[in-house]
């Protein structure tokens, strides 16, 4: 069974953003971002996350070898602006789930930074992890997120409650 490690030095670089694996020092910042009403409403688990619940999540996350969560840094201002993740990574099956995408502050939104962060992560997963399929779930009324995912090449598989399931399959012959 193949597995991945959480290499603390891992950095994935785009034109305007850089992705770095989350570390202990960002955990409280992530909880605060995730608990903002206009952010949490779009996630399947939409409740306020308590410090104790978040600590338990962080401890479990560190034990999982199939879950990579990144802070999105804006290169120009060397500042953390959001998160994105790949989880349920199955190297044998060549598949993963994409999610936990957020851009925290309104003044960073609408600039294409979420799309760029998503694209560089997907490109990296395809090249470095040899993934061939990526899945995600998105709230059916989350128009900005759906717009990004469609531009990245995701297509709808169906719906479950208020969420669309989407899939990105890389064309055969173009993966390493
Ligand atoms: C979803 C989210 C990450 C997008 O961040 P962002 O930085 O604004 O995203 P981008 O600027 O890269 O792209 C947004 C795209 O959505 C489009 N968009 C924005 N509002 C839209 C709307 N109401 N209808 C359709 N498209 C819309 C924008 O035009 C843009 O596309 P363009 O580049 O072609 O113009 C951000 O809104 C967020 O953090 N939301 C809360 C958490 C969340 O919903 N996460 C996703 C969970 S699946």
Number of H helices, E strands in the chain: 5, 8
C-alpha span between 154 and 136 (Å, rounded): 9
Please tell me the distance between residue 143's alpha carbon and the centre of ligand 1 in angstroms.
7
Confidence at residue 171, expressed as pLDDT on a 0 to 100 scale = 76
C-alpha span between 67 and 91 (Å, rounded): 12
Residues of the chain with pLDDT under 50: 176
Task: Pick the closest to residue 107 from 141, 84, 79, 149 (CA basis).
Answer: 79
Please tell me the distance between residue 145's alpha carbon and the centre of ligand 1 in angstroms.
5
Confidence at residue 8, expressed as pLDDT on a 0 to 100 scale = 87
Confidence at residue 172, expressed as pLDDT on a 0 to 100 scale = 62
pLDDT tens-digit readout, 48-72: 999 999 999 999 999 999 999 999 9
Look up the CATH superfamily of 13-169: Gcn5-related N-acetyltransferase (GNAT) (3.40.630.30)
Q: Is the pTM of this model over 0.75?
A: yes
Which residue, by CA, sits nearest to atom 16 of ligand 1? 144
Contact residues for 155 (Cβ-Cβ < 8 A; gap 6+): 166, 167, 168
Find out whether the beta carbon of 105 lies less than 6 Å from any atom of ligand 1.
Answer: no
Confidence at residue 38, expressed as pLDDT on a 0 to 100 scale = 95
**46-to-20, 41, 53, 120 alpha-carbon distances in Å:** 25, 5, 13, 27
Please tell me the distance between residue 137's alpha carbon and the centre of ligand 1 in angstroms.
15
Find out whether the beta carbon of 111 lies less than 6 Å from any atom of ligand 1.
Answer: yes
Indicate the top mutation candidate among 14, 72, 105, 110 to test ligand 1's pocket, ranked by most ligand atoms within 8 A of CB: 110
Find out whether the beta carbon of 40 lies less than 6 Å from any atom of ligand 1.
Answer: no
C-alpha span between 30 and 58 (Å, rounded): 11
Please tell me the distance between residue 148's alpha carbon and the centre of ligand 1 in angstroms.
6
C-alpha span between 128 and 70 (Å, rounded): 16
Give residue limits of the domains in the chain: 13-169
Confidence at residue 1, expressed as pLDDT on a 0 to 100 scale = 60
pLDDT tens-digit readout, 127-149: 999 999 999 999 999 999 999 99
Please tell me the distance between residue 109's alpha carbon and the centre of ligand 1 in angstroms.
7
C-alpha span between 72 and 79 (Å, rounded): 8
């Amino acid at each position: 069974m193949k597995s991945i490690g959480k290499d603390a030095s891992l950095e994935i670089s785009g034109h305007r953003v850089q992705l770095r694996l989350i570390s202990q020092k960002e955990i409280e910042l992530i909880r605060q971002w995730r608990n903002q009403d206009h952010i949490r409403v779009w996630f399947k688990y939409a409740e306020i996350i308590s410090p104790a619940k978040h600590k338990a999540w962080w401890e479990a996350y560190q034990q999982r070898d199939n879950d990579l969560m990144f802070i999105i840094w804006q290169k120009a201002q060397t500042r953390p602006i959001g998160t994105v993740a790949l989880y349920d990574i199955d190297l044998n099956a060549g598949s993963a789930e994409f999610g936990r995408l957020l851009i925290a502050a309104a003044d960073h939104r609408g600039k294409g930074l979420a799309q760029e962060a998503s694209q560089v992560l997907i490109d990296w997963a395809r090249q470095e992890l040899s993934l061939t399929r990526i899945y995600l779930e998105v709230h059916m009324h989350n128009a900005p997120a759906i717009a990004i995912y469609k531009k990245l090449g995701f297509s709808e598989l169906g719906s479950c409650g208020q969420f669309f399931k989407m899939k990105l399959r890389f064309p055969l012959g173009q993966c390493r």
